Chain A
């Protein structure tokens, strides 16, 4: 008979906790059906269902369980969700349970119980820190081994599909920002809020309270939870107070800015419609109170990683907040009084607590008596020396500690337990302090590091500041919040603190490692053991930063929150120095893992960068243009005719070149940078920024100009026209438009403040087109009003105002193609109209639009320099433009251009290149050498800078490049090598002007 087995929660307590027993939630872990309650985390629900083994460790594939109850979890990392939302390495301790949740264990094969890679554990003695690199790197076949080594180590698998969710970014401002809503944070927010300050309070979990949700504290004679509720209600009622839950401060930056990650919808199966999944906040506060609490430290003893070993504070959290028994028979191992309160809480939850093992020989506080009164055996000066159980804890061994704590006395004793709660003291969560440079300071009483004073308007309160007791946390929080408000001019009034009921506690005994045989894990996530730290010490990686990088200590998703202090303290012991002297590694953002999607927020896809379209864009689109990206611009690359497809590219490009050279072509050049230059000193300014002279340029004329950087290297080129007595119109290359503008502004703003010159970028104010070809004048003459466009009316390099179809335009007789050519600049709003009027007027003359490919081919045919030649390495002389340099004036780069290195005769000079076989196509970027058979290293003669694979005007491909000796080499041959494609092409060095060297076409 088929029997339906309902999943049950054998470890759930009958009552208590913050879970909603009326809201059961079904979920799956490794395909096992489970039930939890609203209010559970995945970790608490797994424990309630009796699941203790949740993953395999990073390096040794050791069975691992749930170790903490928060974002510092090193062990319980799972793959969450499925399909395009599958996310690796999520911490089961921070995942709020939702209906239908699916999670899988990681780093195991074929399954969690039988993981074949566990054999690595057997080899553990021979794979210490750095093993793989030491052994395999440099050996033949590293590339082969690497694949397997990388697969053996590692954690979960991310999805390979695009992220279906949206993310958001918010900028916020407040007077007082409080990070952490435990007792100190709540008290701080309350004090600042009551004073009238604009307050923001961030809480990582789903609700404020912090440890007050996990411990059985009492305030004002009632459970502390009631004070939390009252306080949150009061804060919610304040109009200027914002409480953000599920929000973790992950970075602290200059200017009192905290970045925080809000998990808006991670507690739901999928985000609601129009809801973002996560949101990154950048909060600029006038004062910050960091109340980030502390993370409990493990004790480092043999076998301390078995499922069933758990931090004591987490064990209390599971029984008190989640109403879950993390085990049935428990022992507690402690070096401080937290051991006793843990034993008491576990016992009250019905767990059979057999023993409290205390490292200390005496000096315990009141907790020991209470525990003993409950019938719990309390062992002093004792340690856990071993643990038993394969996939989960079944027993521990304890032994009496020697006086110095380094050895044991007598025979170990066996205890049968399935839960070992470990209390090793608390490490303040000072990561956010470290981000702004606050140096950590060792506090011996706490046996941990607290934040020292740092720059900025931030201070800490509560456990992060070393406060041990609840009363002290509340007082520090209230003081910090009140002080922040007072410093901003608010009046916080007298603090009102709730009354606490706390018993005195004894001091902690730092025990960084304990005697016993077996693996003692310091960093559970990275599988770093005491042996690894001792090895690092022997091999000289002794500073804490070296230790971290050599062993990977603290480099996991938990950023060493449970492991750093233990690790560096063990190193300090090895070195024989004080822990304070060893110091602690510098923390950097983010404190918790942050998805790149959340940081990118809306800046994805089309929103990643703006798309710039020219005024004539729609015409191009309607007429078959294939677009190319030029920076942010979209430019027509070539135009396809009806019936053609991408396979017809070469035909289209050839058609455009031939059409232009034989009749007339038109190209959109609106993307060129355009700068309006005005002022009495404008000519002087141009003299200084260009290498050539401008004093003699009359109104109504244009001139080609070349700009250098201060170091003597060519920066940019373009034509600049004198359009008025004190007014010039400069054009720059498309690529450098922004840089040239900033460059000119810098000289006027910083170095030449005495010049009377004003600049305005007018790139987007003008739409410009070039009309080129032997029939260009005929087309222009049909549409231009108010101007004679004959050679006399508009001579070569002439500039005139005119009108086309009622649009005021500026005409330039300049040519990039080598043909008789004009550029027409029209106000951007009317440029498309001017373009269309010219298209219509040119219909009878064979006018053809051309794109950037044809434009590039025609300029290469004419040997005009462009981006490939102005590559930030060439001088005016290299480019064959040395004759342009004016010797009658100084200009930018003048002094440095004369340096030996820039004037050496051995510098490669600008030449044309033609394949000897008239067929091969030398690729741009090819290296020019003398001998194609030479073995590396090969002397380089130069390189190919631009290449036209197709030159319809000529019977062979052509290229431009630089070769040692320059023009002196004309007539000889060299080899163009492109080793990545195994290409070697013999090329003849020729004059860079391939077509019409005398410029007859230019002058029509």
Chain B
């Protein structure tokens, strides 16, 4: 029952959010090769420790929130908008 601070709505229970996925990936350019697309669509790291991910505030403002979360402790270290570059401890 972690809490996520939505940059628009404030701190909310994770039940208001839907987990989206890895926020470290960048969608390849349209004409990138098959390998780049394969990596983007299928390959995911499963890091132990801080991980950058997207959560959608589905039962709120529906924004995509970037969340820096420790996968071991579930501690939310920082949150921001999709445009933000996050580092632990703040935006």
Contacts and interface: CB of A to CB of B under 8 A. Distances in A.
Interface of A: 253-255, 257, 282, 284, 437, 455-456, 710-711, 742, 745-746, 749-751, 753, 890, 894-896, 899
B64 A710 contact: no
A548 B21 CA distance: 35
B41 A711 contact: yes
A893 to B, nearest CB: 9
Contacts of A710: 40-41
B82 A753 contact: yes
Interface of B: 1-3, 18, 20, 23, 27-28, 30-32, 34, 37-38, 40-42, 54, 56, 58, 62-64, 72-75, 82-83
A896 B41 contact: yes
Given A254-B1, A254-B2, A896-B41, A890 B31 contact: yes
Given A742-B56, A749-B82, A255 B73 contact: no
A894 B40 CA distance: 13
A894 B27 CA distance: 13
Contacts of A751: 27
Contact of B30 (A257, A282, A749, A894): A894
Identify which of A746, A750, A899 gathers the most chain B CB atoms within 10 Å of its CB: A750
Contacts of A456: 73
A254 B20 contact: no
A569 B67 CA distance: 43
A458 to B, nearest CB: 13
Contacts of B27: 751
Nearest to B83: A753
Given A456-B73, A746-B64, A895-B30, 9 more contacts: A284-B1, A455-B73, A745-B56, A746-B54, A746-B56, A749-B56, A750-B82, A895-B32, A896-B38
A-B complex: 8 closest residue pairs judged by Cβ atoms: A890-B30, A749-B64, A257-B1, A254-B74, A455-B73, A895-B37, A751-B27, A253-B1
Given A746-B64, A750-B64, A896-B41, A255 B3 contact: yes
A722 B82 CA distance: 30
Nearest to B70: A455
A761 to B, nearest CB: 9
A742 B18 contact: yes
B41 A745 contact: no
A42 to B, nearest CB: 35
B37 A896 contact: yes
Given A742-B18, A890-B30, A896-B41, A255 B82 contact: no
Contact of A455 (B40, B62, B75): B75
A594 to B, nearest CB: 16
Contacts, number: 57
Interface class of chain A by DSSP: mixed
B1 A899 contact: no
A857 to B, nearest CB: 36
Contacts of A253: 1
A437 B73 contact: yes
A894 B41 CA distance: 12
A284 B15 CA distance: 14
Contacts of B58: 742
Contacts of A746: 20, 54, 56, 64
Contacts of B75: 254, 455
A753 B20 CA distance: 17
A622 B62 CA distance: 38
A255 B1 CA distance: 6
Contacts of A749: 56, 63-64, 82
Nearest to B76: A255
B66 to A, nearest CB: 9
Nearest to B3: A255
Nearest to A745: B62
B42 to A, nearest CB: 8
Contacts of B73: 254, 437, 455-456
A895 B1 contact: no
B91 to A, nearest CB: 17
A514 to B, nearest CB: 41
A895 B28 contact: yes
A284 B18 CA distance: 21
A253 B2 CA distance: 8
A455 B27 CA distance: 35
Contacts of A257: 1
5 contacts: A255-B2, A437-B73, A455-B73, A742-B56, A895-B30
A1002 to B, nearest CB: 35
Given A711-B41, A742-B56, A746-B56, A282 B1 contact: yes
A917 B83 CA distance: 63
A711 B54 CA distance: 20
Nearest to A738: B58
Nearest to A688: B30
Contacts of B34: 895, 899
Contacts of B83: 753
Contacts of A711: 41-42
A895 B27 CA distance: 12
A703 to B, nearest CB: 22
B73 to A, nearest CB: 4
B41 A750 contact: no
B15 to A, nearest CB: 10
Contacts of A282: 1
Contacts of A896: 37-38, 41
Nearest to B64: A749
Contacts of A894: 30
B74 A745 contact: no
Contacts of B23: 750
A895 B30 CA distance: 7
Contacts of B56: 742, 745-746, 749
Contacts of B63: 749
Contacts of A455: 73-75
A896 B54 CA distance: 23
A616 B24 CA distance: 47
Nearest to B37: A895
Contacts of B64: 745-746, 749-750
Contacts of B72: 437
Nearest to A748: B64
A885 to B, nearest CB: 14
Contacts of B2: 254-255
